Structure 1
Amino acid sequence: MHTGLRLAFMALCLGIMAYTLDISHIRQSLSAPSPAWLLLALLLTLPQVFLSAWRWQLTTHALGLSLSLRRAVSEYYIATFLNQLLPGGVGGDVARAWRHGHRQASRTRAFHAVMIERASGQLALLLIAGIMLATHPVVLTSFHRSEPSGTTGQILLAGLAGIGSLLLFRTSTRKALARFGHHIALSLCGSHLWIKQLSGSLVIVATYIGAYACCARALGSTLDSLTLLALIPPVLMAMALPLSIGGWGVREGAAALIWASAGLSSSEGVAISVAYGATVLVSSLPGAIVMLMGRQNTPPHQQTSSHRAGEAAVEQDI
């Protein structure tokens, strides 16, 4: 999807929420968060990066590529930071794939490794979401219990998400997905690899859910833990759609819809989503430091060529 369309989509989602939801309630919820809960949410982001970098290293090694854990962590921090700033939320992953492929014999395998590594996490998230819906189907409650004032906005947001998904599907490269099927088998289905991939991804997803739940507690949410565990995975899944910048708009729209579908306050769901988005942004800031340190140690001519190549890759939405 073109960058301009992503920006327009994000602005439209936020505009609909601003028009249909109780902004004063959202502002009040965000006015005095609990520092202790926010700190715990930030601490949970640390194992996320290290475990994700380990998962990436595991995937690259399965595809016959070299990658040290130290470099994987550094590159992952940079990618996390860039994902918060670049349209689509995947620009940082494109950049780390390109930078890794630049040092390898096969750039295609480097890109496939990143795609597979991210897909592994999404599969684990889908598994957890399915288990929670089956055992605690609070999200499947009918929409008539939602806030009357937000019904129209919720319907519009659902329609926008559907349209955005269709546009993304139309612009995706089906042939590229078909080409790396063999690499998926090598890195996800190989002997003992699937156990490592699944266990690592489940722990990573657990830290994401835990950080989101901490943000809910920081805002004084009184929802029981089981209900939170059922509500959070679908919101995180919506963030995977590269339809905005840093998930903003898409994440809040999904939270409004999911909280409403459970007969809860959409405004509360959006407030928690905003707190989580801010926490993720803060947690990504070490990536800026790593990136600046790397630029200081890189000759100017290499900085220019890397920057141009990275821009070209992001523009093509690889």
Structure 2
Amino acid sequence: MVKHTKKLLVQSFKILFSAGIIYWLVQSGKINFAALKNLLTPTAAAVALGLVLINLFFASERWRILIRSQDVAASPFSVFKLSLIGSFFNFAMPGGVGGDVIKAYYFTRDNPGSKVIAVTSVLMDRVLGLFAMVLLALLVMTYDFNHIVQTPALLTLFYFISGLFAAFVISLSLVFSQKIYDKGVLKKIIAKLPLSEKFLKLYESMHLYGRDGKRFILVIFLSLISQACAIVFLYLAGSMAGFTDVSAKTYFLVAPLGFMATAIPVSPAGVGVGQAAFYFLFNLYTGTTSELGPTTITAYQVATFITSLLGAFFYLRRKDRVETADLIDQP
């Protein structure tokens, strides 16, 4: 009871936090809802929803490849349905338990005995997706380095992203290294930690994902394609909203950084945090003040929510669905 109450309070705080940011952005005129009307034409709406659907599909395929690497059968459609259910719950059940936990839970229900695989594959999927965002941001910033060095804040951000990329490379190398695994170096360190048995199982499972270099590259490639779909959406939304003077290159730099901010679980599906992050990043990179960032990410979140309603449909069709309160209390 105490645990459930605590999680409920955390969820309520995150909803209020998100609502507070949105209220501030609207009151200060930093979100141009009028510009979003340009996306309501049948053609524009179809393209927008199509891009979001493709984005979610490639992200789903990334997760499926990780699952298959553990010798568990998983069809593209079955995994895609779970991904859509997870996407829906990102909006419908915000807080400490989100879409990742939901889709892992139902994957375990569909594949008995695969709890460890479900948890580690979802965790690795999130880690590699974030790594791909960092990689893309670093590549674009390096490409546009002459502009970066002219703005101290951007240069600081470049150093931070470079450090984050290095940290990812080192961490993944340690986890995936066969030599380190065989020598038991990390195992000895983990054995000294609290809950060592669980961490050891997690390490051993995550180590398996790095055995096939081609599969790892494919996962990163699918992540980049998924991100590209989201970035194209933002670019088209920005152009239709009247921000035609902003180059596509700017979107490819800002979007990965902005999506990294929305991945931090402090609001429902990144709503509110995304608006603030994109507002700051677009203004910082372009050197001007406009509603471009909040307007485009709001359009993307609305389109993602509409697409995620497919997840609600698939969830309601499940005969083994449980109440969200029961899902929250899952260990």
Q: Which amino acid letter does the alignment assign opposite residue 133 of structure 1?
A: M
Offset at residue 87 of structure 1 (A)? 1.0
Relative to structure 1, the CA distance from residue 80 to residue 253 in structure 2 (aligned partners, 3 Å threshold; closer, same or farther) is same
Q: Does structure 1 residue 7 correspond to structure 2 residue 15?
A: yes
Deviations 1:75-124 (A, max 9, x none): 11211122122214962221110111133213122111111122222111
Partner Cα separation in structure 2 for residue 64 and residue 91 of structure 1: 26
Partner Cα separation in structure 2 for residue 10 and residue 132 of structure 1: 29
Quote the residue 2:298 is aligned against.
274
Partner Cα separation in structure 2 for residue 212 and residue 54 of structure 1: 22
Look up the SS of the partner of 2:209 in the other structure.
helix
Quote the residue 1:117 is aligned against.
125
Q: Does structure 1 residue 107 correspond to structure 2 residue 115?
A: yes
Offset at residue 65 of structure 1 (A)? 2.8
User: Identity percentage over the alignment?
Assistant: 23
Contact 2:120 2:205 in 1 (8 A): yes
Look up the SS of the partner of 2:93 in the other structure.
coil
- Name stretches of at least 5 consecutive residues in structure 2 with no aligned partner: 1-6, 154-193
Q: Does structure 1 residue 314 correspond to structure 2 residue 321?
A: no
Q: Which amino acid letter does the alignment assign opposite residue 22 of structure 2?
A: L
Q: Which amino acid letter does the alignment assign opposite residue 96 of structure 1?
A: K
Look up the SS of the partner of 1:238 in the other structure.
helix
Relative to structure 1, the CA distance from residue 244 to residue 139 in structure 2 (aligned partners, 3 Å threshold; closer, same or farther) is farther
Offset at residue 53 of structure 1 (A)? 2.5
| Of 281-290 and 31-40, the range deviating more from structure 2 | 31-40
Deviations 1:195-246 (A, max 9, x none): 2212222211211222222221221221111122222221111111111112
Quote the residue 1:247 is aligned against.
270
TM-score by length of 1: 0.76
Quote the residue 1:57 is aligned against.
64
| Of 87-96 and 30-39, the range deviating more from structure 2 | 30-39
Partner Cα separation in structure 1 for residue 125 and residue 102 of structure 2: 15
Relative to structure 1, the CA distance from residue 229 to residue 128 in structure 2 (aligned partners, 3 Å threshold; closer, same or farther) is same
Quote the residue 2:142 is aligned against.
134
Deviations 1:113-165 (A, max 9, x none): 1111222221111100111122225577357xxxxxxxxxxxxxxxxxxxxxx
> Which one of 260, 264, 287 corresponds to residue 288 of structure 2?
264
Q: Does structure 1 residue 29 correspond to structure 2 residue 35?
A: yes
Partner Cα separation in structure 2 for residue 93 and residue 27 of structure 1: 30
Q: Which amino acid letter does the alignment assign opposite residue 241 of structure 2?
A: L
Partner Cα separation in structure 2 for residue 90 and residue 22 of structure 1: 32
Q: Which amino acid letter does the alignment assign opposite residue 288 of structure 1?
A: A
Offset at residue 72 of structure 1 (A)? 0.8
> Which one of 217, 223, 229 corresponds to residue 201 of structure 1?
223
| Of 74-83 and 8-17, the range deviating more from structure 2 | 8-17
Relative to structure 1, the CA distance from residue 139 to residue 278 in structure 2 (aligned partners, 3 Å threshold; closer, same or farther) is farther
Contact 1:86 1:246 in 2 (8 A): no
| Of 47-56 and 128-137, the range deviating more from structure 2 | 47-56
> Which one of 161, 178, 181 corresponds to residue 203 of structure 2?
181
Offset at residue 251 of structure 1 (A)? 0.4
Relative to structure 1, the CA distance from residue 313 to residue 76 in structure 2 (aligned partners, 3 Å threshold; closer, same or farther) is same
Contact 2:11 2:96 in 1 (8 A): no
Partner Cα separation in structure 2 for residue 231 and residue 28 of structure 1: 23
Quote the residue 1:224 is aligned against.
247
Offset at residue 3 of structure 1 (A)? 0.9
Quote the residue 2:310 is aligned against.
286
TM-score by length of 2: 0.74
Look up the SS of the partner of 2:86 in the other structure.
helix
Relative to structure 1, the CA distance from residue 215 to residue 183 in structure 2 (aligned partners, 3 Å threshold; closer, same or farther) is farther
**Across the two proteins, how many residue pairs are aligned to each other?**
277
